[in-house]
Amino acid sequence: MESCFCLIYNSGEIRRNEGSVLDEVDYKLLRALCGDARLSFRALSQQVHLTPPAVANRVAQLEQSGVLCGYRAKLDPERCGYPLTALISLSMAPAREAEFADFVAGRAEVWDCWHVAGPFAMVLRAGFADTRAMDRFVKLLQTFGKTQTQIIFSAVKEAPVLPAPQAK
* Local confidence pLDDT in tens for the 168 residues of the chain: 333 343 333 334 444 445 567 888 998 999 899 889 999 999 999 999 999 999 999 999 999 988 898 888 888 899 999 999 999 999 999 999 999 999 999 999 999 999 999 999 999 999 999 999 999 999 999 999 999 999 999 989 887 666 555 444
How buried is residue 85: exposed, middle or buried, by Cβ count under 10 Å (0-12/13-18/19+)?
buried
Domain 8-64 has CATH 1.10.10.10: yes
Cα separation of 124 and 157, whole Å? 18
What is the b/e burial string over 138-160, where b = at least 16 CB atoms within 10 angstroms of the residue's CB? beebeebbebebeeeeeeeeeee
Task: Return the CATH architecture of domain 84-152.
Answer: 2-Layer Sandwich (3.30)
pLDDT of res. 160: 65
Of residues 27, 52, 30, 48, the one with CA closest to residue 40: 52
- For the chain, where do the domains classified as CATH 3.30.70.920 start and end? 84-152
pLDDT of res. 86: 98
Half-sphere exposure of 56 (CA within 13 A, CB side): 6
Instruction: Give the pTM.
Output: 0.74
pLDDT of res. 19: 53
Element (DSSP H or E) covering residue 34 = helix 24-35
pLDDT of res. 35: 85
How far, CA to CA in Å, does 111 sit from each of 22, 80, 94, 106?
30, 13, 22, 11
User: DSSP assignment of 51-107, as one string?
Assistant: -HHHHHHHHHHHHHTTSS--------TTTTT--EEEEEEE---GGGHHHHHHHHHT-
Of residues 61, 2, 75, the one with CA closest to residue 30: 61
- For the chain, where do the domains classified as CATH 1.10.10.10 start and end? 8-64
DSSP 128: E
